[in-house]
Amino acid sequence: MNHPEWIAILDYGSQVTQLIARRLREQHVYCEILRYDTPAEELRERAPKGIILSGGPCSVPDSDSPKCDPALFDLAIPMLGICYGMQLTAHALGGEVQRGEKHEYGKATMRITKPSPLYEGMQDEVQVWMSHGDKVVSLPEGFETVAESDNCPHATMQHLERALFGVQFHPEVVHTPQGAQMLKNFAYGICGCSGDWEMAKFVEHTVAKVKETVGEDHVLLGLSGGVDSSVVAALLHKAIGHQLHCVYVDNGLMRYKETEEIEALFGDAFGMDLHVVHAGDPFLSKLEGVSDPEKKRKIIGNTFIDVFSEKARELSGDVTYLAQGTLYPDVIESVSPIGGPSATIKSHHNVGGLPEDLHFKLIEPLRELFKDEVRLVGRELGLPDYVVDRQPFPGPGLAVRIIGEITPERIETLQQADLRVREEILIMENHLDVWQYFAVLLPVQSVGVMGDDRTYENVIAVRAVESRDGMTADWFKLPYDVMDRISNRIINEVRGVNRVCYDISSKPPSTIEWE
Ligand code: XMP
């Protein structure tokens, strides 16, 4: 389905291509990331308002580097080449690109020497982020240089009549502080977009697209209760109602009352066709006596596939599609320019490895979005805050937080301790600044006194971290009174625990989870 106002981004494999899309969406402009070799004919038909050629790791002078269809430049659609995209433009139109001996990487000051609609409203000097080896040394006919930097005499080129532009730096990254404005100038001033796009429209369009794709068929979704699969569930339910079948596997390692909450929200409130598989027994019996963390993960992963597949087989009579909550960062980070954008299946939902008799077509309605955009979509669809703002929760559930053997008693102890950690942090005004917070049950007993008796009971570690993406993390400086309440409540209210410790390690070298 075509959006009346959109920008096509052709991907040459840069790590930050997705940021171009994101910056445009922030400016309320719809865009799509397409293969680097998308034929000009296809774009003529789909009529984007503008075309952006992304950056990329290859070298334009190499004969096997990814090239665009040269007919793109004759479509009379405004184009902006970024870094590799600029070199590609220069090369295709008869300019010269020189292979770089040195890589220029980092902040640079760019001086704007001639007026350009790209830099409308800006001072003569702007800070930009450079990351390139090769550079354009002579411009194609009809182009002019409009900005330079110390290391880059042609930092920006333009051909005003043909509305073709090239920039050597990366306007999409935050290190180019006015980059968002530059992209806005391109989209609004040069391409004539009016900024008619918003999350509500994403919902509207995706709903229409899903309806068109799915038709009368049925869709299966593994619902984990996490943000991504919850948003996919709400989106698909809006599109196809009872043609959506959600399967939620309770592996017996969920947080306290989590399964009931999911049933109440998706089954009762939304009225979805929700199949809850209570599979605690098969999971726990296979985990009996196992302490090795890798073995635990494997058992849980394999059992999940078995349980999910069995349910899927039961429902599969009518089902053609499998829906997944794949997000942009899950789509392979560095797109192979040769193979074109390819997707990796989100492995922690574990439905990537379904047995061969279950072959579904994939449907991934969130694959162009970032996490915070998914949250906006979730709110748009009426999902409550506690779902939309949910902290990440590992696929193997509490298994990675029970160090040592997993038994029903130890799960119950951890669930109860974890509940108190969550309740106390959730009432902090700034709880959304805490990336993850939870309890861990250690395989250690320590001595305590209760009344006149000595006790010899379990130790709970409390973990709370701040992080941007989970890749690195710092321990969260919880206020003492919050720590105090957490500790008192756990020791007084949870049977079998007489000591609480706070984990003050950062990642790296520690990890967020304990196993
Ligand atoms: P670590 O412990 O590696 O965790 O610092 C980084 C992020 O990943 C989550 N995590 C997992 N998620 N399956 C998952 O789906 C797992 O096995 C797993 N282990 C860790 C963790 O909660 C954190 O957000």
Could you state, in order of their start, the residue ranges of all structural domains in the chain?
Answer: 7-190, 199-388, 402-502
Backbone angles phi, psi at 458, to 5 degrees: -75, 155
How far is it, in rounded angstroms, from Cα 166 to Cα 443? 60
Binding site membership of 348 for ligand 1 (Cβ less than 6 Å): yes
Architecture per CATH, 7-190: 3-Layer(aba) Sandwich (3.40)
* 508 preceded by a cis bond (ω within 30 of 0): yes
For residues 461 and 513, what is the distance between their CA atoms, to the nearest angstrom?
Answer: 11
- 14 alpha carbon, distance to own chain's centre: 17
Q: Would you say the CB of residue 396 lies under 6 angstroms from ligand 1? A: yes
Phi and psi at residue 468, in whole multiples of 5°?
-95, -35
Q: Which residues pair with 475 in a beta bridge?
A: 465
How many beta carbons lie within 10 A of that of residue 149, not counting itself?
20
Q: Which residues pair with 166 in a beta bridge?
A: 81, 157
pLDDT given at position 345:
33
Interatomic CA distance for residues 220 and 222, integer angstroms: 7
Could you confirm whether 172 is annotated as catalytic? yes
Q: What's the pLDDT score for residue 331?
A: 64
pTM beyond 0.85: the answer is no
Contacts of 451 (CB under 8 A, 6+ apart): none
473 Cα–ligand 1 center, Å: 12
Atom of ligand 1 nearest to the CA of 514: 2
Q: Which residues of the chain have pLDDT under 70?
A: 1-3, 331-352
Distance separating alpha carbons of residues 1 and 211, to the nearest angstrom: 11
List of E strands, 67-185: 79-82, 96-98, 104-112, 125-132, 135-138, 144-149, 152-159, 164-167
**Cα of 513 from ligand 1 centre, angstroms:** 6
Per-residue pLDDT tens for 353-388? 788 888 899 999 998 888 889 999 999 999 999 999
Ligand 1, from 327, 435, 510, 512: best to mutate by most atoms within 8 Å of Cβ?
Answer: 512
Same fold for the pair 7-190 and 199-388: yes
pLDDT for position 2: 59
Q: Which long-range contacts does 288-291 make (Cβ < 8 Å, 24+ apart)?
A: 288/405, 288/406, 288/407, 289/405, 290/405, 290/406, 291/404, 291/405, 291/443
Of the residues 170, 245, 348, 349, only one is catalytic, namely 170
Cα–Cα distance list, 387 to 103, 236, 383 (Å) = 45, 17, 7
- Whether the bond between 509 and the residue before it is cis, its omega within 30 degrees of 0, is yes
User: How far is residue 496's CA from residue 417's CA, in Å, rounded to a whole number?
Assistant: 10
**278 C-alpha vs ligand 1 centroid, how far in Å?**
24
- Ligand 1 pocket check: which of 476, 513, 514 to mutate, most ligand atoms within 8 Å of Cβ? 513
Q: Exposed e or buried b for every residue in 450-464, given b needs 16+ CB within 10 A?
A: eeeeebebbbbbbbb
Alpha helices (runs of H) in 241-352, residue ranges in sequence order? 258-262, 280-287, 293-315
Q: Are 17 and 49 in contact (CB under 8 A)?
A: no
Q: Collapse the DSSP code of 333 into the 3-class scheme (helix H, G, I; strand E, B; otherwise coil) and give the result.
A: coil
- Could you tell me which CATH class the domain 199-388 is placed in? alpha beta
- Any idea which residue has 């072959």 for tokens? 359
**DSSP H helical segments within 316-407, as ranges?**
371-380, 385-388
How many CB atoms are closer than 10 A to CB 228?
A: 22
Residue 390: its pLDDT value, please?
A: 92
What's the rounded Cα separation, in Å, for the pair 437 and 422?
Answer: 7
The CATH code of the domain at 402-502 is: 3.30.300.10
359 phi and psi, to 5 degrees? -110, 120
